Every structure is written in structure tokens, then in C-alpha cells.
Amino acid sequence: MTTSDFSTTVLVDQSPKEVFNAINNVRGWWSEEIEGPTSKLNDEFSYHYEDVHKCRMKLIEVVPDKKVVWLVMENYFSFTKDKSEWKDTEIIFEISQKGDKTQISFMHLGLVPEYECFDICQNAWTQYIQQSLFSLITTGKGRPNGAGKPTTADEERLGTIR
């Protein structure tokens, strides 16, 4: 793993089991429009936000209360020259105890500054992990996008550019 891959960390008071369950509730923090199962090894699901971003993920590692890894099998961005920038990258959630807290270490392995989407994707992941997933874990309600409803400023801006 290189340090140029996007990563962020969050600490919460909830248990590793609660964190693991929240991560796997992808509709609760990323998008209400997720299609397919999102919690077991080899599950595949699709994400889309309008015609701005579409992708298909496969869960390639699931260790209860410790780790979840998604492989990006397909990807499409409407706003980049290379529409498939995320393809074959991995999205990793590692869960660990830090004293009396639970830490979520999130990394998008392969999302690097050389990608045209890096700034937008970095901002989006930061908001989805540090705000929406955090909120789902700590309050039971996340802030996913859905039904054309943007969560990030970039989603709102890109959704209006046709």
C-alpha cells in the first residue's frame, strides 16, 4: 500500500460489531439507490448517482467485526476522460479497537492523485465516511444520496452539468 492512495480514519464509541453492521448497510450511508446485496463474501452490488457515476462492486473479503473489502469491477464517470478510473481498485474498511473506542480505517487503494477524479472522489469519500457513515454509526441515521438527491456539493454541481 502506498501513502498516495486515499485514506481517512474515524473513531466512534460504538462496538466493532455495530461499526461492521453499519459499513455493510451501504444504503444507509452511501446511497439509497444501491442495487444488490452488500454484506456477504462474493456479494455484488451496483451504485449510481444520476448519470454522473455508476459502478459495480464485489465483496472480496469479509471478516466480521474487523474488515470489509470491495473490488470495483466496473466504473463509469461522466466527468472524466477515462470513464473507468476506479476499475480494479479496492475499497477497504478496517475496524480495530483503540482504547475504549472503535476505529474505522478507510482506504481506496488505487485512488491516487494522478486520477482526474481524485479531488472530487477524495471530497466525496471524506464526506461519506466522516459524516454519513459516522452519523449512521453514532445516531442510527446516515446521509446517503438517493432518488436524485445529492449529498456532496460536487454531486449537486455535476448533476446539473449535462
CATH of the domain at 11: 3.30.530.20
* pLDDT (0 to 100) of residue 51: 87
Confidence of residue 81 (pLDDT cuts 50, 70, 90): very high
Work out the average pLDDT over 128-135: 97
Does a structural domain hold residue 16?
yes
Work out the average pLDDT over 52-65: 97
Separation in Å, CA 19 to CA 80, 135, 151:
33, 11, 21
- Structural domain containing residue 98: 6-160
* pLDDT (0 to 100) of residue 129: 97
Confidence of residue 15 (pLDDT cuts 50, 70, 90): very high
User: Does residue 137 contact residue 22 with C-beta atoms inside 8 Å?
Assistant: yes
Extract the runs of DSSP E, i.e. beta strands, from 41-150. 44-49, 53-63, 67-77, 90-98, 101-109
List Cβ neighbours of 153 (8 Å cut-off, separation of 6 or more).
123
What burial letters (b/e) apply to 119-132, b meaning 16+ CB within 10 Å? ebbbebbebbbebb
Give SS3 for 148.
coil
Domain count, the chain: 1
User: How much is the mean pLDDT over the chain?
Assistant: 90
- The percent of residues in the chain predicted with pLDDT above 90, rounded, is 81
* pLDDT (0 to 100) of residue 146: 79
Confidence of residue 152 (pLDDT cuts 50, 70, 90): low
Does a structural domain hold residue 1?
no
Answer yes or no: pTM beyond 0.85.
Answer: yes
Does a structural domain hold residue 86?
yes
